[in-house]
Structure 1
Amino acid sequence: MTSTSASALVQELDNAPDVLTWLNDTLTPQDNHVPLAALESLLADLLTATDLSAVTTSTALEHTIDEVSRSAPRLTYDLHFMRDGAISLHTALSTVTARIPAGSGTSTALDRLQTLDTAKRRMEAVRDVLREAESWSSLEAEVTALLAERAYDKAAERLSEASRSMPVFAGTPEYEPRRALMVSLQNQLEAALSSALVGAINSGDTALCRNFYGIFSNIQRESEFRNYYFGSRRAGLVASWQNEILEDTELSVPAAPRQSFSAYWATFCASFLAVLNAERTSIPAIFPDPQITLSTFITSTLSILQPSCPQRLATLFNTTGSSALKDIIAIYKTTEEFAASADKIMEKIQFSVAPTDSTLDGPLPPKHTRRRSMRMSMSWRSNSATNFSRPQQSTINDVLDWDQTLFQAFLDFQVEYGTLERRLLSDELSFASTLTPNKNSSPDRARLLRERAVDVFSAAEESLVRCMSFTYGYAAPGLMSALDSSLASFVDSWTQSLTVNFSAPSGAPAESEDDLADLDYSPQDWSNIQLVLHLLASTRAVLERLGTFEGKLRAVLVQIATAFRLAQHEGGVYTPGATKGAGSLLAQSPLNSAALHTLLSSAESHPPVPLLTTTRASIASLARALQSSLQHTLLAPLYAHLSSYASLALWAAPGDPRSMRTAGDLHVPVFSLSPSDIVQRVAEGLLNLPRLFEVYADDDALGFSLNTLPNVDEAYLGGLSEYIHAQSPELGHNRRTSLVLPPKPVVLSPEAVAAAWLSSLGHSILSHLTSSVLPKIGTLSVAGAAQLSSDLGYLSNIVRALNVEYEELDRWKEYVGMNDEEGGRVIGEKLPGDQVLLLIAKMRGWTS
Structure 2
Amino acid sequence: MSRNESIGETIQSLESSDSLLSWINDTLGAKEDDLAALDQHITHIVAALDIACEETSFQLERIIDDVSRGVPRLTYDLHFMKDSAMALQSVLVKTQDHSVTSLPAQTNETLEHLRTLDTVKRHMESAREVLREAESWSSLEMEVTGLLGEGSYARAAERLSEASKSMVVFQNTPEYESRRTLMVSLQNQLEASLSSALVAAINTQDVALCRNYYTIFSNIQRESEFRNYYNGSRRAPLTEMWQDLPVDTEQSTGQSFADFLPKFYSKFLTLLNAERVTIPSVFPDPQASLSNLIVSVLTALQPSFSERLAALFEQYGSSALANCITTLKVTQDFAVNVEKVMDKVKFSTPSVRSHVQDGGAAEGVEPAARERVHRRRSSRMSISWRAGSQRTAQGSAGSPNVNVATHDDFEWGRELFQPYLDYQVDYGKLELKMLQEAFDRATANEDDGDARSDKSRLLREAAVDLFSIGEESFARCLNFTYGYGAVGLVQALDTMIELFFNVFAKGKQTGGTSPARAQPSISYDDFVDLDYSAQDWAALQHSLHFLGAARAIHDRLLVFEAKLRSTLLQISSQFQMAENDPINFTVAPTKVQELLLQQSLLNSSELRTLLDSMQKQTHPAPNSSPSDPILLHAGRNGLFSFVKTCQVSMQETILSPLRKQLQPYPTLSLWSASGDKSRTNSSGISDLQVPTFSLSPSEIVQKVSEGLLNLPRLFEVYANDDALSFSLETLPYINPDVLKGIPEEPHSELPVPPRHIRRTSLVSIQAAPAPPVTLDAETVSSAWLSSLGHSLLSYLMNDILPKIPTLSEAGAAQLTSDLSYLSNILGALNVSSEDLGKWQEYVGLLDADGGRAKLADAEMQSDAIFQSVARMRGWSS
Which category describes the TM-score, using the shorter chain as reference length? 0.7 to 0.9
Q: How many residues end up aligned between the 2 structures?
A: 711
- Deviation of the 1:747 alpha carbon: 4.6
The aligned runs of 1:354-373 (5 Å cut-off) are none
In the other structure, the counterpart of 2:16 is: none
Q: Letter of the aligned partner of 1:758 in structure 2?
A: L
The separation in 2 between residues aligned to 1:330 and 1:619, in whole angstroms, is 34
In the other structure, the counterpart of 2:474 is: 464
The aligned runs of 1:345-744 (5 Å cut-off) are 345-352=341-348, 390=400, 394=404, 396=406, 400-430=410-440, 439=450, 441=452, 444-502=454-512, 507=517, 509-510=519-520, 512-570=523-581, 575-606=586-617, 607-656=627-676, 670=692, 672-713=694-735, 715-721=736-742, 740=753, 744=757
The separation in 2 between residues aligned to 1:708 and 1:700, in whole angstroms, is 15
What do residues 737-779 of structure 1 show as CA deviations (whole Å, max 9, x unaligned)? 9951597475532221211111000001111111111222223
The separation in 2 between residues aligned to 1:508 and 1:693, in whole angstroms, is 18
Q: Letter of the aligned partner of 2:463 in structure 1?
A: A
The separation in 1 between residues aligned to 2:516 and 2:418, in whole angstroms, is 56
The aligned runs of 1:48-59 (5 Å cut-off) are none
The separation in 2 between residues aligned to 1:598 and 1:392, in whole angstroms, is 31
Q: Letter of the aligned partner of 2:553 in structure 1?
A: V
Alpha carbons 1:403, 1:581 under 8 Å: kept:
yes
The separation in 1 between residues aligned to 2:434 and 2:111, in whole angstroms, is 88
- Deviation of the 1:547 alpha carbon: 2.4
Of residues 263, 266, 270, the one that matches 2:266 is: 270
User: Helix, strand or coil for the counterpart of 2:742?
Assistant: helix
My pick for the range that moved more, 664-673 or 299-308, is: 664-673
Alpha carbons 1:617, 1:741 under 8 Å: kept:
no
Q: Letter of the aligned partner of 2:412 in structure 1?
A: W
In the other structure, the counterpart of 2:24 is: none
- Deviation of the 1:158 alpha carbon: 2.5
In the other structure, the counterpart of 2:788 is: 761
What do residues 200-246 of structure 1 show as CA deviations (whole Å, max 9, x unaligned)? 22122222222222222222222222122111111111111112114
Alpha carbons 1:302, 1:406 under 8 Å: kept:
yes
Structure 1 residue 811 corresponds to structure 2 residue 838: yes
- Deviation of the 1:500 alpha carbon: 0.9
In the other structure, the counterpart of 1:358 is: none
- Deviation of the 1:504 alpha carbon: 6.0
Alpha carbons 2:739, 2:783 under 8 Å: kept:
no
- Deviation of the 1:587 alpha carbon: 1.0
Alpha carbons 1:706, 1:739 under 8 Å: kept:
no
The separation in 1 between residues aligned to 2:867 and 2:679, in whole angstroms, is 26
The aligned runs of 1:38-117 (5 Å cut-off) are 97=103, 100-101=105-106, 106=108, 112=113, 114-117=115-118
In the other structure, the counterpart of 2:25 is: none
Q: Kindly tell me: are residues 753 and 562 of structure 1, through their superposed partners in 2, closer, same or farther at Cα, counting changes over 3 Å?
A: same
Q: Kindly tell me: are residues 675 and 139 of structure 1, through their superposed partners in 2, closer, same or farther at Cα, counting changes over 3 Å?
A: same
- Deviation of the 1:350 alpha carbon: 2.8
The aligned runs of 1:27-42 (5 Å cut-off) are none
User: Helix, strand or coil for the counterpart of 2:629?
Assistant: coil
What do residues 639-682 of structure 1 show as CA deviations (whole Å, max 9, x unaligned)? 11112222222333332579898977766665533222222221
- Deviation of the 1:416 alpha carbon: 2.2
The separation in 1 between residues aligned to 2:776 and 2:677, in whole angstroms, is 47
Q: Letter of the aligned partner of 2:700 in structure 1?
A: I
Q: Kindly tell me: are residues 298 and 278 of structure 1, through their superposed partners in 2, closer, same or farther at Cα, counting changes over 3 Å?
A: same
- Deviation of the 1:575 alpha carbon: 4.5
The separation in 2 between residues aligned to 1:775 and 1:175, in whole angstroms, is 103
Normalised to the residue count of structure 1, the TM-score between the two structures is 0.76
The separation in 2 between residues aligned to 1:277 and 1:514, in whole angstroms, is 87
In the other structure, the counterpart of 1:70 is: none
The separation in 1 between residues aligned to 2:814 and 2:870, in whole angstroms, is 16
- Deviation of the 1:499 alpha carbon: 0.6
Alpha carbons 1:246, 1:259 under 8 Å: kept:
no
Normalised to the residue count of structure 2, the TM-score between the two structures is 0.74
The separation in 2 between residues aligned to 1:555 and 1:207, in whole angstroms, is 60
Of residues 247, 269, 284, the one that matches 2:280 is: 284
In the other structure, the counterpart of 2:77 is: none
Q: Kindly tell me: are residues 833 and 573 of structure 1, through their superposed partners in 2, closer, same or farther at Cα, counting changes over 3 Å?
A: farther
Q: Letter of the aligned partner of 2:419 in structure 1?
A: A
Q: Kindly tell me: are residues 655 and 247 of structure 1, through their superposed partners in 2, closer, same or farther at Cα, counting changes over 3 Å?
A: same
The separation in 1 between residues aligned to 2:821 and 2:478, in whole angstroms, is 65
User: Helix, strand or coil for the counterpart of 1:748?
Assistant: coil
In the other structure, the counterpart of 1:843 is: 872
User: Helix, strand or coil for the counterpart of 1:234?
Assistant: helix
In the other structure, the counterpart of 2:8 is: none
My pick for the range that moved more, 139-148 or 699-708, is: 139-148
Q: Kindly tell me: are residues 129 and 657 of structure 1, through their superposed partners in 2, closer, same or farther at Cα, counting changes over 3 Å?
A: farther
The separation in 2 between residues aligned to 1:371 and 1:756, in whole angstroms, is 89
- Deviation of the 1:834 alpha carbon: 2.4
Alpha carbons 1:706, 1:738 under 8 Å: kept:
no
The separation in 2 between residues aligned to 1:178 and 1:437, in whole angstroms, is 86
Q: Kindly tell me: are residues 834 and 792 of structure 1, through their superposed partners in 2, closer, same or farther at Cα, counting changes over 3 Å?
A: same
Alpha carbons 1:658, 1:670 under 8 Å: kept:
no
In the other structure, the counterpart of 1:161 is: 162
In the other structure, the counterpart of 1:293 is: 289
What do residues 511-559 of structure 1 show as CA deviations (whole Å, max 9, x unaligned)? 6434434432222212111111111121222223222222232333333
Pick the structure with greater CA Rg: 1
The aligned runs of 1:91-240 (5 Å cut-off) are 97=103, 100-101=105-106, 106=108, 112=113, 114-240=115-241
User: Helix, strand or coil for the counterpart of 2:785?
Assistant: helix
Alpha carbons 1:140, 1:185 under 8 Å: kept:
yes
Structure 1 residue 303 corresponds to structure 2 residue 299: yes
Q: Letter of the aligned partner of 1:610 in structure 2?
A: I
Alpha carbons 2:463, 2:553 under 8 Å: kept:
yes
Of residues 331, 336, 340, the one that matches 1:335 is: 331
The separation in 2 between residues aligned to 1:114 and 1:565, in whole angstroms, is 72
My pick for the range that moved more, 788-797 or 629-638, is: 788-797
Q: Letter of the aligned partner of 2:731 in structure 1?
A: L
Alpha carbons 2:518, 2:542 under 8 Å: kept:
no
Q: Kindly tell me: are residues 738 and 550 of structure 1, through their superposed partners in 2, closer, same or farther at Cα, counting changes over 3 Å?
A: farther
Alpha carbons 1:654, 1:782 under 8 Å: kept:
yes
What do residues 596-628 of structure 1 show as CA deviations (whole Å, max 9, x unaligned)? 223333444553432222222221221111111
The separation in 1 between residues aligned to 2:662 and 2:597, in whole angstroms, is 66
- Deviation of the 1:405 alpha carbon: 1.1
* Structure 1 residue ranges without an equivalent (≥5): 1-59, 65-81, 355-369, 373-387, 726-736
The separation in 1 between residues aligned to 2:872 and 2:831, in whole angstroms, is 27
Question: Percent of aligned positions with the same letter in both sequences?
Answer: 50
Alpha carbons 1:510, 1:523 under 8 Å: kept:
no
The separation in 1 between residues aligned to 2:584 and 2:110, in whole angstroms, is 68
Q: Letter of the aligned partner of 2:481 in structure 1?
A: T
